[in-house]
Amino acid sequence: MQEHIEQSLDVLRAAHARHGQKLVYPCSFGGESAVLLELIHRLKLDITVLTLDTGRLPQATYEVIEAVERHYNMRVQVIFPDCHAVESMVAEDGINAFRHSLEARKRCCQVRKVAPLQRALQGYEAWITGRRAEQSDSRATLETVDKDDPVYGRIKYNPLANWSWQQVMDFIRQYQLPHNALLDRHYHSIGCECCTRPVTVGEDPRAGRWWWERDDVASECGLHVTSLSRPLGEGEQGDGI
């Protein structure tokens, strides 16, 4: 574990040394987020932490945002989707359209997550993610630095690339970090309330997202798509925003 911690600290240190104020951490407030926030704090790095409020987040996520702000004496920048885009989508597709078709679900992720993140990343050269190689087959070769970002065109740093889920949870418990209460209810990946469920023992951790689609190609929201050959909303996710 100590070796993994040191490696992650090295990645964060190097990223900040290279990009300074042009480095940002879009935080999902899942398990990996608790670890990253603690490591950033230990290094006393001045890194903007932002999060996407899709309008459909679970109350537990709002609670942990507040708990983190208190614990680290910081303010999280909360990014909201364009209200006109949400209104148009809901007017055309309905309030819960993401359940009705893959296209509608992708549109919802695009409007509520991808577009706001693209806007939030303007002015930054690089961002930190909580992605881990263990999370999916498509991430098996994930490295700590990812320069190939076809969607956002920015360098991604993945300080937890080599961590296991068990290590994430052990770290949170060992240091009693503020964390999303859903983690204690077997949620591995935390996103919108309506599109996230806990996973059972032995189940793929990603099975907790968009489970009704039951189609591997749809297991990502588009925030961490690896290839432009895949449209937004398909492909490989992460720490989950």
Beta pairing, strands 48-52 & 23-26: parallel
29 binds ligand SF4 (CB under 6 A): no
Angle, helices 59-72 vs 31-42, to 10°: value is: 10
Q: How far is the CB of 54 from ligand SF4 (least distance, A)?
A: 5
158 contacts 10 by C-beta, under 8 angstroms: no
Q: Does 54 sit near ligand SF4 (CB under 6 A)?
A: yes
Are the C-beta atoms of 9 and 42 separated by less than 8 Å? yes
- Interface with ligand SF4, residue 109, by CB under 6 A: yes
Interface pattern 210-229 for ligand SF4 (x via CB under 6 A): -----------x--------
The answer to whether 194 contacts ligand SF4 (rule: CB under 6 A) is yes
Closest CB 91 distance from ligand SF4, rounded Å: 15
Q: Which amino acid is at 184?
A: D
Extract the runs of DSSP E, i.e. beta strands, from 59-213. 77-79, 126-128, 145-146, 155-157
* 191 binds ligand SF4, rule: CB under 6 A: yes
Q: Are strands 155-157 and 126-128 parallel, antiparallel or unpaired?
A: parallel
221 as an active site residue: the answer is: yes
DSSP letter, residue 196: B
Residue 99 beta carbon to ligand SF4: minimum distance, rounded to whole angstroms: 9
Angle at 162 between CA 79 and CA 183, to 5 degrees: 55
Q: What does the alpha-carbon distance between residue 147 and residue 156 come to, in Å, rounded to a whole number?
A: 6
Please identify, using beta-carbon distances, which residue of 23 and 241 lies nearer to ligand SF4: 241
Choose the binding region for ligand SF4 from 21-29, 104-112, 125-133, 143-151 (rule: CB under 6 A).
Answer: 104-112
Please say which residue, 23 or 195, places its beta carbon nearer to ligand SF4.
195
87 Cβ contact partners less than 8 Å away, ≥ 6 residues apart: none
Closest of 97, 48, 104, 42 to residue 75, by C-alpha: 48
Beta bridge partners of 145: 157
Q: What angle do CA 82, 235, 125 make, to 5 degrees?
A: 60
CB under 6 A: which stretch of 1-9, 23-31, 37-45, 186-194 binds ligand SF4? 186-194
Catalytic residue among 27, 192, 195, 221: 221
Distance in Å, CB of 224 to ligand SF4, minimum: 13
- Residue nearer to ligand SF4 on the CB measure, 4 or 105: 105
Q: What's the min distance (Å) between Cβ of 110 and ligand SF4?
A: 8
Q: How many residues bind ligand SF4 (CB under 6 A)?
A: 13
Active site residues: 221
**By the criterion CB under 6 A, which residues form the site for ligand SF4?**
54, 56, 98, 105, 108-109, 112-113, 191-192, 194-195, 221
